[in-house]
Chains A and B, each alone.
Chain A
Amino acid sequence: MIIVTGGSSGLGKAITEDLRQKGENVVTISRSNYSEDKKHFSCDITNYQSLKEVYLHLINSEHKICALVNCAGTASMNLALTTPPLTTERVIRTNLIGTIYTNQIFAPLLIKNKGGRIINFSTIAVHLGLKGESVYVASKAGVEGFSRVFAKELAPFNITVNCIAPGPIKTNLLKGISDDQIKKIVSNQTISNIMQPSAITEMVSLLLREESRNITGEVINVGGV
């Protein structure tokens, strides 16, 4: 079974649907109720205790957890000087602390499975240093640093930890960014195309494969930088 956080919208939803289409057993975690999906836990990833409750439910499940895909995230495109403190806290709390919590809490399920994959999400903006994304970039740079070190801590347990860093993909996260801005960002990529969600779902599938067992602690900038 694969856990996908943020699985009810945006990239998380696309990844969940893609994995299910490929026959994978996927359980999603997000704040939404998403009541039509029985394999869904309504939970805020910034709430440690709520995540722990999901963990306790999963630990008693008959299914073994083989992967964790952390898509839950939030964005705010502002100049650092004009970013309100609550926005700074929300972005850091969701993207960085939420990702750390999910990694900490669910990794033992992979250890019990004697191996697995963790895929965290960063952004190509970390490498490109995009103006107007300082807080968002700070949160994702933190995710990259955490993932690199966590990869070392989990390597003896046969678990890989990697980051996928997408460029602009048409999801709700891009609300408020003009087409011109998107084109400008994309022009900095090695492959200067606006990627479709499929570019990310394919990357997730690639990292989940047995053949990717020796790829760990890496940040994969989709489209290249």
Chain B
Amino acid sequence: MPDQFSDTIKSLIAQIRMITTQELIQIIKDMIEDDIDLVPDSSLVGGGSIIDSMGLVQICLALEERSQSDGFSFDWTSEKAMSSLNSIFKSPETLAQEYNRQLSAIHK
């Protein structure tokens, strides 16, 4: 029973700390000083991206900083990050999903 209780608490903590796509978009806008039009499925990498590689690194570092206060270290170097089809950098939405996946894993 105490274990179940503890698991529920951990799961609640993870849910409270989860990042929304809108929050992530705001983080990106704060990082990139230009006034950019960003929606949940805007491309973050590749030809159609409105963010350059320097901006992408800054976003990763901003997420890492946030993850420190959420009790884990956001890893942006996974093989999945590099995948052209399923890249975590495909859009703000996929990046937020990956952040939340890593957050949930740590609070399991």
- With beta carbons under 8 angstroms apart, the residue of B53, B54, B73 that contacts A56 is B73
The answer to whether A112 touches B61, judged by C-beta atoms less than 8 angstroms apart, is yes
Closest CB in chain B relative to A48 CB, distance in Å: 9
Task: Give residues 52-96 of B contacting A (CB, 8 Å).
Answer: 53-54, 57-58, 60-61, 64, 68, 73, 77
Most A CB within 10 A of own CB, among B57, B58, B68: B57
Task: Give residues 4-61 of B contacting A (CB, 8 Å).
Answer: 53-54, 57-58, 60-61
The answer to whether A59 touches B68, judged by C-beta atoms less than 8 angstroms apart, is yes
Known: A56-B73, A104-B77, A112-B61. A156 touches B68 (CB 8 A): no
The answer to whether A108 touches B61, judged by C-beta atoms less than 8 angstroms apart, is yes
Count B interface residues, CB 8 Å: 10
Chain B residues with CB under 8 A of A108: 57, 60-61, 64
Task: Give residues 90-124 of A contacting B (CB, 8 Å).
Answer: 104, 108, 111-112
The answer to whether B61 touches A111, judged by C-beta atoms less than 8 angstroms apart, is yes
Give A104 to B54 CA distance when docked, in angstroms.
14
The answer to whether B54 touches A156, judged by C-beta atoms less than 8 angstroms apart, is yes
Chain B residues with CB under 8 A of A104: 77
A positions within 8 Å CB-CB of B: 52, 56, 59-60, 104, 108, 111-112, 153, 156-157
Query: What 15 additional pairs, Cβ within 8 angstroms, besides A52-B73, A108-B57, A156-B54?
Result: A56-B73, A59-B64, A59-B68, A60-B68, A104-B77, A108-B60, A108-B61, A108-B64, A111-B57, A111-B58, A111-B61, A112-B61, A153-B53, A157-B54, A157-B57
15 CB contacts below 8 A, A to B, read: A52-B73, A56-B73, A59-B64, A59-B68, A104-B77, A108-B57, A108-B60, A108-B64, A111-B57, A111-B58, A111-B61, A112-B61, A156-B54, A157-B54, A157-B57
